[in-house]
Amino acid sequence: MNKIAELVYALGGAPQAGATAAAAPESAGSTFFPIIMLGIVFVIMYFVVLRPQSKEAKKHQDMLKSLKKGDKVLTAGGIYGVVVGISDAESKVVVRIDENTKVEIAKAYVVGVKPEGQAEQPVVK
């Protein structure tokens, strides 16, 4: 009988007064309930947070792979420019900001590409 009491304590509860060996499986089932709920929370987190984040990262990688000279881009620093050179080996992009100003940035810092044929928006001062 002492072994049964140790098993019940190990499974998460003290035996009730007058408890028998038949009560042990009931307490074992209630012990696994929090584990099951934790698993359900992880599944929900996957579909709500992790899956959309990985889709967005894949979309960004596809955008970087499709970069070409002449694309108008936005950098992570908020700088707009035109791609004038691409180095796939070093993962760098040369962006022309102004007539005489070129900046070399890491390819990963390009956050957006303006589709060709889209009209320029006038800047209001």
Q: Which domain holds residue 13?
A: 2-63
- Residue where a domain stops, chosen among 42, 63, 84: 63
Domain count, the chain: 2
CA dihedral sign of residues 93, 94, 97, 102: positive
Q: What is the pLDDT of residues 2-33, one digit of tens each?
A: 666 676 566 665 555 555 555 445 555 677 88
**Distance, CA of 22 to CA of 16 (rounded, Å):** 12
The pTM assigned to this predicted structure is 0.59
Q: Is residue 121 part of a domain?
A: no
User: pLDDT tens, 54-74?
Assistant: 999 999 999 999 899 999 999
Percent of the chain with pLDDT over 90: 53
Residues 16 and 57 in one domain: yes
